[in-house]
């Protein structure tokens, strides 16, 4: 029988200009966003960008230096004070699961229900263990569990107090790749079934793109961009976001006549000034092969086998830029040394150029990712 939803209270989260400083270091600066009930937000960024600090502020483990955090219209942190973590109605799931080694699975799950009548605790523990698919593990101890079982037990413990929002810090990073994919799918399906919203911290772009309703790319303590994953991937608002979300190629140039001229065509450069240094960014799948006489001539320098796909690394004859092109794999691919390239203009984004030699550029000013 399909378990009934745990009916969390209707809730929504809002952060308004939240900042956090540690001495002279600003860990978070003016963070603002809102999350609807039952929605899943991924915080994506490199180590040290402020993801985990933001999670701790929402959980109440740390206090913001300025700004306001509200949940379901209730102020959790701000000028009106700070609500204690245990009184926020927010669950927290740690990267290493943090199961108590001296407690059984059932006792671990019951830990957040202290103070409730024993019969209610017992019933609730049985309910969430069943929902998480680990009912048969109630009497085991953490050292007796596999990685996937530990993750499910930690999830059951976080859900036991009926949180309206669940915070998850790199919850799948300790699992092997195959198990990670299946456990992640099960966890997200369960959260959606129960209507529990979640904020998931990750450094893995593929994971963030796969699971999020909303994706926030963080950089240097700020939200660089926030939107649905498809929009951010296909139409990134900044070069940093484009680069962080996946591989791509870059052609450099100068804006003239409102466009950036490249060996692969001219591309509109809205908002950029005449004479401004700019870059055209595009994904490997935006390129197509053609006859050299019908497109930009390039030479194939190497072929990288990626399983379902193969990636061609090419060098343009005009300008010498290195580009990448993804094709479906073939058993024995045969590619000519010299090919032509066409670029889908709708897949190109033009940005102001990054500072010289920042983010992987080469001394000659040509860059790729």
217 shares its domain with 318: no
Q: Which two tokens stand for residue 230?
A: 């498809």
pLDDT of 141 > 50? The answer is yes
pLDDT of 180 > 90? The answer is no
Q: Find the CATH number of the domain harbouring 293.
A: 2.40.50.140
Are the CB atoms for 287 and 361 separated by under 8 Å? no
Q: Tell me the C-alpha distance between 258 and 90, whole Å.
A: 49
Strand partners, 43: 201, 216
Q: Work out how many domains the chain is built from and give that number.
A: 2
CA 98 from centroid of its chain's CA atoms: 23
In a domain, 347, yes or no: yes
158 shares its domain with 203: yes
180 shares its domain with 308: no
Nearby residues of 164 by Cβ (< 8 Å), 6 or more positions away = 8, 9, 10, 11, 37, 71, 72, 89, 90, 196, 197
pLDDT of 369 > 70? The answer is no
348 shares its domain with 315: yes
Q: What does the pLDDT look like over 212-241, one tens digit per residue? A: 999 999 999 999 999 999 999 999 999 999
In a domain, 57, yes or no: yes
pLDDT of 287 > 80? The answer is yes
pLDDT of 66 > 90? The answer is yes
In a domain, 301, yes or no: yes
Taking the model in full, what pTM does it have?
0.85
Q: Where are the beta strands (DSSP E) in 83-237?
A: 90-93, 165-169, 197-202, 214-219, 222-227
């Amino acid at each position: 029988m399909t378990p009934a939803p745990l009916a969390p209270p209707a809730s929504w989260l809002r952060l308004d200009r939240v900042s956090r400083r540690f001495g002279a270091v600003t860990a978070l600066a003016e963070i603002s966003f809102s999350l609807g009930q039952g929605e899943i937000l991924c915080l994506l960024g490199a180590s040290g960008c402020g993801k985990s600090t933001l999670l701790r502020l929402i959980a109440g483990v740390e206090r913001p230096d300025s700004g306001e955090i509200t949940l379901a219209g209730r102020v959790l942190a701000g000028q009106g004070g700070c609500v204690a973590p245990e009184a926020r109605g927010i669950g927290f799931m740690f990267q290493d699961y943090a199961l108590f080694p001296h407690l059984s699975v059932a006792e671990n799950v019951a830990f957040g229900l202290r103070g409730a009548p024993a019969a209610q605790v017992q019933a609730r523990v049985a309910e969430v263990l069943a929902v998480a698919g680990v009912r048969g593990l109630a009497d085991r101890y953490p050292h007796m569990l596999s990685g996937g079982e530990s993750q499910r037990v930690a999830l059951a413990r976080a859900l036991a107090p009926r949180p309206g929002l669940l915070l998850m810090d790199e919850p799948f990073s300790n699992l092997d790749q195959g198990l990670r994919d299946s456990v992640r799918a099960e966890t997200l399906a369960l959260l959606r079934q129960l209507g529990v919203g979640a904020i998931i911290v990750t450094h893995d772009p593929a994971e963030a793109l796969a699971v999020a309703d909303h994706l926030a790319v963080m950089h240097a303590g700020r939200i660089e961009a926030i939107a649905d994953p498809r929009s951010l991937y296909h139409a990134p608002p900044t070069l940093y976001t484009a680069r962080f979300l996946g591989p791509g190629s870059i052609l450099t140039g100068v804006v003239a006549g409102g466009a950036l001229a490249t060996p692969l065509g001219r591309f509109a450069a809205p908002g950029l000034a005449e004479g401004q240094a700019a870059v055209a960014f595009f994904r490997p799948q935006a390129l197509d092969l053609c006859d050299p006489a019908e497109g930009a001539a390039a030479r194939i320098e190497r072929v990288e086998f990626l399983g379902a796909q193969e990636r061609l690394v090419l060098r343009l004859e005009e300008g010498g830029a290195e580009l990448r092109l993804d094709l479906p794999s073939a058993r024995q691919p045969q590619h000519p040394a010299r090919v032509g390239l066409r670029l889908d203009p709708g897949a190109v984004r033009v940005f102001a150029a990054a500072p010289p030699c920042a983010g992987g550029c080469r001394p000659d000013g040509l860059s790729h990712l």
